[in-house]
Amino acid sequence: MDIETSSDPTLLLPDYSTISDSNFTQMLLTLMPNIMNQNEFMELLNHKEILIFIRELTKLVNRFNYSQLQHEQWSYYYNLGMTEGIWNGRVSKKMADANSMCYTYGRSKNLIKQRLDKYKLQYKKAQEAINEHMKKAPISIDMQNLTTMINNLINKDQNQLRLELERRKTMLRLDAEEHRPVEKFYVLKPRQTEINSAKIIWKAINERENIIHEIAIFKKWLAVHAQESTYSLHTEHIAEQTITKAEEIVQHYTKIATIEKNKLQSTKSHHKNADLLEPIIHAIFQRVNNMQQRRENELQAILTNIFKLTPVQHINYQIKRQHD
């Protein structure tokens, strides 16, 4: 689900055409404004032509809102590119593998402009379709209250979609910033020993974050299934052992990164240009901080998609990162 929604956010878009009449009616009733009479509204919904009109209006507003969200999203990308120069970029796969990084990032200017035009046209057409459909509104319907009800329903149902689009904004920036400290590091012309240490540190941190993700997902999975009849004391014991072993691996990778950092700092006394060493170390760990932020955002998205958590429902997935 996480992979699919990352490439196709329409999978997070509610499809009101597949919902039964009774379920659709119930969804509307739960979001009725207080000033509306529920009995009168239910009576209206018993008329097939009125229910069809409302369902079609809901689908049109749903598509309009989606197009607007996407237009706002691509406007953000465009403004980010214009103000901060975050467009598409890439490094060789060999370079990416050596430095534990993605080889592509950002969006091209042409692609962003195409998407802006596409969604601007989409929401204009959707607005026109809504206006045309509203001309068919039955005289017995209070359109102001109905519109409020439909908007409330769609805002609720598109919440996960909005969260996914916000995540993409954050990830675009973090992906781009992931490359900046790496570029800055090499611009400083580090010695080969410093390059080797940087690669070791970045690889260790990358592997550590992978394990932290696995622990977090496993813990949440256990919490979800703990009440099932097949969940026994034996299962719990095995789970605890697994988590303990995984946390030991996390600390192992933390230790590798710490040793390399200490090794770098210990060379300052006999460095040809000691003043250059501090910015080199800073660039290395600026990249480490960005790696952690990026992976934490990824993890929250995975937990949200798999377990339907909201952002305030963070589980305790943080593993103590000693000596970062």
Query: Cβ(289)–Cβ(181) under 8 Å?
Result: no
Which stretch of DSSP H or E encloses residue 105? Answer: strand 104-105
pLDDT per residue as tens digits for the range 100-141: 988 887 788 898 999 999 999 999 999 999 999 999 998 888
- Look over the chain and give the mean of its residue pLDDT values, rounded to a whole number: 85
The answer on pLDDT for 314 being more than 50 is no
CA distances from 90 to 36, 96, 176, 290 (A): 56, 9, 10, 18
Q: Which among 3, 1, 10 has a CA at the least distance from the CA of 165?
A: 10
* Spatial separation of the C-alpha atoms in residues 58 and 187, rounded to whole Å: 55
* Spatial separation of the C-alpha atoms in residues 75 and 77, rounded to whole Å: 5
Q: Which among 162, 141, 149, 153 has a CA at the least distance from the CA of 5?
A: 162
**Which three-class secondary structure state does DSSP give residue 8?**
coil
CA distances from 151 to 56, 146, 275 (A): 13, 9, 60
pTM of this structure: 0.73
The answer on pLDDT for 312 being more than 60 is no
Q: Which among 44, 116, 103, 108 has a CA at the least distance from the CA of 76?
A: 116
pLDDT per residue as tens digits for the range 199-235: 999 999 999 999 999 999 999 888 887 777 777 888 8
58: confidence class by pLDDT, cuts 50, 70, 90 = very high
From the CB of residue 70, how many other CB atoms can be counted at a distance below 10 Å? 21
**Which three-class secondary structure state does DSSP give residue 317?**
coil
DSSP-assigned beta bridge partners for residue 90? 104
Amino acid at 47: H
User: Which pLDDT belongs to residue 56?
Assistant: 95
Please spell the DSSP secondary structure of 138-177, one letter per residue.
Answer: -TTS-HHHHHHHHHHHHHHHTHHHHHHHHHHHHHHHHHHH
Assigned token pair, 59: 């689908």
